[in-house]
Structure formats: C-alpha cells, structure tokens
Chain A
Amino acid sequence: MVTQSVRSARCRAEVIIAAARGVGAMEEEMHTDAKIRAEIGTGCSPRGPGCSLRHFACEQNLLSRPDGSASFLQGDTSVLAGVYGPAEVKVSKEIFNKATLEVILRPKIGLPGVAEKSRERLIRNTCEAVVLGTLHPRTSITVVLQVVSDAGSLLACCLNAACMALVDAGVPMRALFCGVTCALDSDGTLVLDPTSKQEKEARAVLTFALDSVERKLLMSSTKGLYSDSELQQCLAAAQAASQHVFRFYRESLQRRYSKS
C-alpha cells in the first residue's frame, strides 16, 4: 500500500561570504519530506531516514565575458552556465517578432553528441516558455552550459544553472523555473535528486521543470517504466521539492543584492 506522508520541511542555511568581489554564493542543506513510501523495513537511501535533496550551492557573476553567468552545484553534480544576450543574430536565424534562443550544452569529456542535442532542445523549450522574447525581436539570447561534473540529476542541474544565469544577465522573464529529478526503483520507492548509481538501478527516472508562479509543469522528460498514478505522485513530490529550490533562489539573490 502506498501512503503519502507530508511533514514540514526544515532547512538550515549556511551563508558563505565571498571575497569583496560582489559575488553572491550560497549553500543550503535541505531535508524535505514530501514523499511516497512503500517500503517496509529496508532503508530508503544512504542520505537519511527521509528522502532529501542533496546539498546545493550557487554562485553568480563569476565569468567576466558573458553578460550573465552562474554555477550550480547539486551534491557532486556541477554545471556552469553563461548567457549572452540580447545580442546580434545572423540574418538566417533571426525571427521577426521575438528573440532567438539558443542553448549549447557541452559535456565534460568528448564532443557533444545526440544526447546533448536532445537535452539542449528540452532546455531551450523550457527557457522559451519563460523568457519574454517579444521584448527583443531580431536578437539572439545564447545560453552556454558546461558540465563540470556529473553525479546524477544532470538535466535538473542544467535547468537550475540556466535559470540563475538568465536572471544574472537581466534577461526579462515572466517567472523563474527549476528542475527536479525523481527516480523510481523496482519496489516503487521514490527518490528525489538521485545519484548516478540510483539512476542506473532505478526502474524509471523522471525530470520535471516547474515554474515559480504556480508550480506549473513546463517540461517533463522521462525514461523507464511507470504507471499513471506513480507519475502523479512523482509530480506532486517534485512540486513540493521545487518550493525549496525557489526559496534557495530567493535567498541567494537577496544575498547578492544586499552587498550594494
């Protein structure tokens, strides 16, 4: 039987003040429990009694050339994002009434392949839903993502880094967005923010992009076998986890602006 238990979330914020360079860096450890638990007896994940999002950190404005940049860490997964825009666009790529959004994802080793192309498309569709492109027609907004280390939930980390970099660049957006990954293992236990080992052993891995205004679903990418009710449960768990991510965004940005 599947029972749904919701407990209030505790979070402990540790603020690390970077050197007087105006860079805001924030780390926060979250324990969020909005989970489905179907197991009896077997321990959930090596992280603790409840399932939790991994420790995450974000740093903005760390690159000098792009108009906006951000580095997002989730556990051991780390992605660096840079945004250029609104900038000049080639006549062949220009769209007469809105901005051309381009996403480039570079893996840690090797040349970008088909998997990167498909992830770029997912991230681009998410960004296009959120960025107000009609304010800058015939321009290009380019998001460049570099995978620094991959230890699970890569697509979610890329989405978070892209969002923070777009905010840093001052690109007008109608909402913020975040990515959350869930993994379902063979006995139906849900794990949020899985590591690569958990992803490999899982029966299904689902990644959702949610917006900040009403936690609506912007993008979903799933792999594996799962039932309709499990999908709804994963979505509900991701929505609950996303509020912690958005609270982290808010604190991180407040930290950045409090220096001036």
Chain B
Amino acid sequence: MAEPVSVAAEYLAGSRARAARTVLGQVVLPGEELLLPEQEDAEGPGGAGERPLSLNAGARSRVRVVCGPGLRRCGDRLLVTKCGRLRHKEPGSGSGGGVYWVDSQQKRYVPVKGDHVIGIVTAKSGDIFKVDVGGSEPASLSYLSFEGATKRNRPNVQVGDLIYGQFVVANKDMEPEMVCIDSCGRANGMGVIGQDGLLFKVTLGLIRKLLAPDCEIIQEVGKLYPLEIVFGMNGRIWVKAKTIQQTLILANILEACEHMTSDQRKQIFSRLAES
C-alpha cells in the first residue's frame, strides 16, 4: 500500500542529516546530525557544500573544523547535544574550517579552562582556598596564586570574600583549579574584590551578550551613574555605585535586560536619567 510508505518517509524526514551551512542561525534540537562541507583542494576555500565521492578519493583533503559547545563529533558528522541557535565563525587566518557552536540559554555553569569567574571563598584548608564557582565542585585556589604572594607574605583572604580569577585546570575528570594571576605573574584586575557592592546571578547567555564587543547596554549604563562592575562567566555580576539605591537600580536593570527589547531599555534609561 502506498500510504504506509509515505508515512514511513515522513518518519525519517526528521532524522535526515542536514548540511551545517543551511542551518546556520536556526534553532537546532538535540539529536540532529549536521554534515560538514568538505573542500576539494588544499589551496583556497573552494568548497561549495558537499560533493559526491570522486573517483580520486585520495586527493580530497579534510578541513579541520572546531566543534564548540553544544556539538559533538560522531563519525564525520556533528551531533547536536543542546538546543539553541547554530553559529559559525570563519577562521581568522590560515587553514581550518572555523568554529561551529550552539548558542543555548542556560543557568548552570560548567567550568571551562581560561574563563574568568567570580567565586566565593567557602573554606581555608592549609595552603589552599576552596572557592564556590557555581559548578558541580568547588574550585581550589592556592595562596601563592596572587600577585606578590610568597610563603612569608600571604594574601589577606577570608572566608566569604569574593574572588575574581581564571581557571587553569578545568575538565570533567579533575577538580577545577583557579588562579588570580595571568601567565606573566601580574594580577591584571584579578584578585579579591573590594568591600561593599552587590553580587547577583544572571543567566550565562546574558553575560555573553553583555561582554560582546559592541554591547550598548554597558555603554548606556556607564553614562547613567559612575560605577564599578565585574562580570564572571559563571553568571555572576558584582556591581558597586556611590549609594546603595543606585547599586540596586543597576542590579535590577541588568537582571531585567534579558527580557526587555532595546526600545523598552532605552525608555527606562531615559526615565532614570531624568530623575
């Protein structure tokens, strides 16, 4: 019968792998497979999508594509593991097929090497501090990882202090380790965050949006009041203004930014600037 065949075709329609190029910017769901474009020759980006297998299979060179968050390699395809929009970044220079990743909205942070985060010191045991960064395990921070710290000259860190640092070890198998110096031994803005101010939590997507190069929100907020602000990639923001009221207003604006359109935001800013 023809009808069951058409239904069977409809079943499989959802599971056919699509080319990654055609899905850029669209919402992808876990379980989808994406095909990568393969380039015929080594010189220049000549690839124009997938080509059928040529008789001279040895001449085809593979392009090195980086699989970012939300994607896993399975065979020579990409398997989507998180729901979100598929993004692609062209390689800046040289070879490689660029980076593909899925832009998803999440609240829970998973430590990644190189990320700058805000942590709260929860325990001091011997030579290391245990810092809560919002992940599944507290990160460890050695007392020597501060600028100018020596065995005699210990940093002044108490339980409950806020620390801004970066991860040097962060993978699924080991306990995350963070430091407050960069590779040259300088603090570069990291270390214990000062007195007062307010720490609050937002989603990871909002942090990435605020830290994007041309974010208008930060420029507008800066024109409003003089302030100090620290963004942690683990979804935590620390903000400090002259008075407590201003600090609270800034915290509320940043939390609400996620759900507002840019017009609503401009309205609120103009209303605040008047008052």
Contact = CB atoms under 8 A, between A and B. Distances in A.
Interface of A: 4-7, 20-22, 34, 61, 67-68, 85-89, 132, 135-140, 167, 169-170, 172-176, 211-215, 239-240, 243, 246, 249-250, 253-254, 257-258, 260
Contact of A136 (B29, B107, B136): B136
Interface of B: 3-4, 7, 10-12, 14-15, 27, 29-31, 70, 72, 79, 81-85, 104-108, 110, 135-137, 172-173, 205, 258-261, 264
B234 to A, nearest CB: 13
Nearest to B3: A6
7 A-B pairs closest in CB distance: A175-B31, A170-B106, A172-B81, A139-B136, A67-B108, A173-B30, A6-B3
Contacts of A173: 30-31, 81-82
Given A34-B7, A176-B29, A257-B85, A170 B104 contact: yes
Given A135-B172, A176-B30, A249-B29, A170 B11 contact: no
A167 B106 CA distance: 10
Nearest to B132: A88
B196 to A, nearest CB: 26
Contacts of B136: 85-89, 136, 138-140
Contacts of A136: 110, 136, 172
A4 B3 CA distance: 10
A135 B105 CA distance: 18
Q: Give the interface SS of chain B, mostly helix, strand, loop or mixed.
A: loop
A137 B173 contact: yes
A25 B205 CA distance: 20
B81 A20 contact: no
A212 B84 contact: no
A67 B106 CA distance: 7
B95 to A, nearest CB: 28
A243 B11 contact: yes
Contact of B259 (A20, A86, A253): A20
A136 B170 CA distance: 12
Contacts of A139: 136
B108 A174 contact: no
A258 to B, nearest CB: 8
A257 B27 contact: yes
Contacts of A249: 29
A7, A22, A140, A258 interface centre (most CB from chain B within 10 Å): A22
Given A22-B258, A170-B82, A260 B31 contact: no
